[in-house]
Amino acid sequence: MLNMPEKIESDRIVLVRPFPATFELAKEIFEKVELSRNTLRDWLPWVDGTKTPEDEYTGWLVNWVQKHWKEGCGFAYIIRDKKTNTLLGAIDLMEYSESDKSALIGYWLSDDAVGHGYMTEAVRMVEKTAFELGLNRITITNDTKNTRSVNVPKRCGYHLDGVMRKDKWDKRWESFRDTNVWSKLKSEWLAEQKK
């Protein structure tokens, strides 16, 4: 069992478990998805299926986030600016394997929150918490052409394990896409702390 906390804070951002799952919160998240739809839909398959606040509520908040927290296999957080409480995006530590002590990080930011280092900071906050709680490996995957996303694990010192060639059919781009697989091990994270 990975006992991820409900809240993780730094000086400028706070990662919060979106609990309880209220419709008000779903509407707030949906507004950010709506604002950033054109950017997000290029890289996140769920965006086109999220057409209303009801979709956000049922599809993400209830059937994904709450379910996974309850089952202990995924820990999604919304990211807020600490001073203004503005919603910036979300980060999800998912596909947790108790036996392998591994999990995968996924993320998105609203268009108006890009370019400030928020996601780099959020990834570092989640990995610190998870490694301290006993995780051994964190994986991040991204489309090789998603430059902003690729730069996040690069900036956070992840190792590029390899590229899964043409592993995903993307109906929007009408092509097979290549996926980067990045990882960081607890031993590497510990070594970074000593630098």
Ligand X SMILES: CC(C)(COP(=O)(O)OP(=O)(O)OC[C@H]1O[C@@H](n2cnc3c(N)ncnc32)[C@H](O)[C@@H]1OP(=O)(O)O)[C@@H](O)C(=O)NCCC(=O)NCCS
Strand partners of residue 15: 8, 79
| Residue 43 beta carbon to ligand X: minimum distance, rounded to whole angstroms | 3
Among 23, 43, 46, 64, binds ligand X (CB under 6 A): 43
Among 10, 39, 58, 102, binds ligand X (CB under 6 A): 39
Q: How many residues bind ligand X (CB under 6 A)?
A: 20
- Looking at the Cβ atoms of 58 and 120, the one nearer to ligand X is 120
Q: Is 103 in the site for ligand X (CB under 6 A)?
A: no
Q: Is 40 in the site for ligand X (CB under 6 A)?
A: yes
Side-chain-facing half-sphere of 89: CA atoms under 13 Å: 24
Q: Which stretch binds ligand X (CB under 6 A): 59-67, 68-76, 117-125, 166-174?
A: 117-125
**Tokens standing for 132?**
């301290």
- Looking at the Cβ atoms of 151 and 187, the one nearer to ligand X is 151
Q: Is 146 in the site for ligand X (CB under 6 A)?
A: yes
Q: Which stretch binds ligand X (CB under 6 A): 62-70, 93-101, 126-134, 145-153?
A: 145-153
Q: Is 114 in the site for ligand X (CB under 6 A)?
A: yes
Q: Is 19 in the site for ligand X (CB under 6 A)?
A: no
Q: Is 107 in the site for ligand X (CB under 6 A)?
A: yes
Residue recorded with tokens 């996974």: 68
Farthest CA pair distance, the chain = 47
Q: Is 5 in the site for ligand X (CB under 6 A)?
A: no
What does the chain look like in DSSP terms, one character per residue? -----SEEE-SSEEEE---S--HHHHHHHHHHHHHTHHHHTTT-TTSTT--SHHHIIIIIIIIIIIHHHHHTS-EEEEEEETTT--EEEEEEEEEEETTTTEEEEEEEE-GGGTTSSHHHHHHHHHHHHHHHTT--EEEEEEETT-HHHHHHHHHTT-EEEEEEEEEEEETTTTEEEEEEEEEEEHHHHHHHHH-
| Residue 3 beta carbon to ligand X: minimum distance, rounded to whole angstroms | 26
Q: Is 33 in the site for ligand X (CB under 6 A)?
A: no
Binding residues for ligand X, rule: CB under 6 A, are 39-40, 43-44, 107-109, 114-120, 142, 146, 148-149, 151-152
